[in-house]
Amino acid sequence: MTSNLFTFTPDPTLDLVLEREIDVPVELVWEAWTTPDSIKEWFCPKPWSVSSCEIDLRPGGKFNTVMRSPEGQEFPNSGCYLEVVPNQRLVFTDTLLPGFRPAPKPFFTAALLLEPTATGTRYTAIAIHGNEETRKQHEEMGFHEGWGTVVDQLVAHIKASIH
Amino acid sequence: MTSNLFTFTPDPTLDLVLEREIDVPVELVWEAWTTPDSIKEWFCPKPWSVSSCEIDLRPGGKFNTVMRSPEGQEFPNSGCYLEVVPNQRLVFTDTLLPGFRPAPKPFFTAALLLEPTATGTRYTAIAIHGNEETRKQHEEMGFHEGWGTVVDQLVAHIKASIH
């Protein structure tokens, strides 16, 4: 469909990067990231949860989730996918709604990059922002801790589903 | 690379649509839209001109142009491609900069849809906005007249380059 993929080169002043080596195969990481029922199990640091997830896995397709606080308050997130390369990269943004429509409250683009390793997967998540202020805000919201916890939950979910 | 393409369904309150039947083949329309030297010839209603054009034809790749007024004032436009399906559809936005980075002044997404006909091409351009206000602003800037003129210039450019 398209020519070669461009390489993401994070800008330390604008972007946040989480890189981890995990001992589960890329195919299962991909499946966990692209299946609504699976997303509900691990996508949000507990005791928060995901009460709803809609996925239309193609560029311009919907990626909506609703996060629920322990007190039951709900926070919807709407966005769309930008790149869908199975077992390799998944890019989505809240800057565009489904159908590539400009969103009312753009915040960031996320790139998930997966590479197979001898023992599992090199897992890289990049949060791409438009300015330093947004990057800082995301950092202060607990990007590193939150996304780190989510990787632990993802790995635990995959291992539980294998056994 | 991806699953099937979604169908654009313009929302009349938010989107602007220009549809034309033109008597040049889709392949030449595609080429004119994706070649910087060609873009400079027809992309801007004369006597305005395009003084610079950069194209990296892939999702997330750069699509930058600089428009120049008859008085010589320059207006840069930065954006990136979202979908690149040769001879069929080209989607780009100023909502994201190259590398899918959120842009400082998001305005709209453009979808160019091409279909071969018995005599040439069904040419559909959709300007997709985030709210009614932006749609109205774009309309008052002269979307229909401007994009219409540009199609005439595009067809004239293609015909001149054939003969």
Residue B1 lies in a domain: no
Are the beta carbons of A130 and B104 separated by less than 8 Å?
Answer: yes
Q: Is residue A62 part of a domain?
A: yes
- Within-domain flag for A5: no
Q: Give the mean pLDDT of B114-134.
A: 98
Structural domain span for residue A140? 17-162
Antiparallel, parallel or unpaired: β B80-85 and B89-93: antiparallel
Specify if A59 maps to a domain. Answer: yes
For residue B44, the distance in angstroms to the closest alpha carbon of chain A comes to 23
Task: Enter the DSSP assignment of A47.
Answer: T
- Domain presence at residue B61: yes
Note whether residue B3 is domain-resident: no
What is the average per-residue pLDDT within A106-135?
A: 97
Show the tokens assigned to A34. 């692209």
> Is A3 within a domain?
no
Helix-helix angle B143-162:B26-33, to 10 degrees: 110
Average pLDDT over residues B128-138: 97
Q: What Rg do the C-alpha atoms of chain A give, in angstroms?
A: 15
pLDDT by residue (tens digit) across A127-160?
999 999 999 999 999 999 999 999 999 999 999 9
Nearest-by-Cβ selection for B2 from A1, A101, A103? A1
| Partners of residue B80 in chain A, C-beta under 8 Å | none
The total of structural domains in chain A comes to 1
ipTM: 0.94
Confidence of residue A163 (pLDDT cuts 50, 70, 90): confident
Q: Is residue B7 part of a domain?
A: no
pLDDT of residue B15: 98
DSSP string, B46-67: TTSEEEEEEE--STT-BEEEEE
CATH code at position A80 = 3.30.530.20
User: Which pLDDT does position A3 carry in this prediction?
Assistant: 47
Q: Considering CB atoms only, which of B93, B103, B134 is closest to A100?
A: B93
Kindly report, residue by residue over B2-37, the tens digit of the pLDDT: 448 889 999 999 999 999 999 999 999 999 999 999
What is the Rg, in whole angstroms, of the alpha carbon atoms belonging to chain B?
15
Return the sign of the alpha-carbon dihedral for residues A93, A97, A98, A100. Answer: negative
Q: Please report, rounded to a whole number, the percentage of residues in chain B having pLDDT higher than 70.
A: 98
Residue of A6, A102, A108 with shortest CB distance to B99:
A6
> Residues A74, A68: contact at Cβ < 8 Å?
yes
Interface touch B91/A130, C-beta < 8 Å: no
Chain B partners of A102 at a C-beta cutoff of 8 Å?
A: 93, 95, 106-109, 128-130, 134
Residue B134 with chain A: CB contacts under 8 Å? 102
Mean pLDDT, chain A, rounded, equals 95
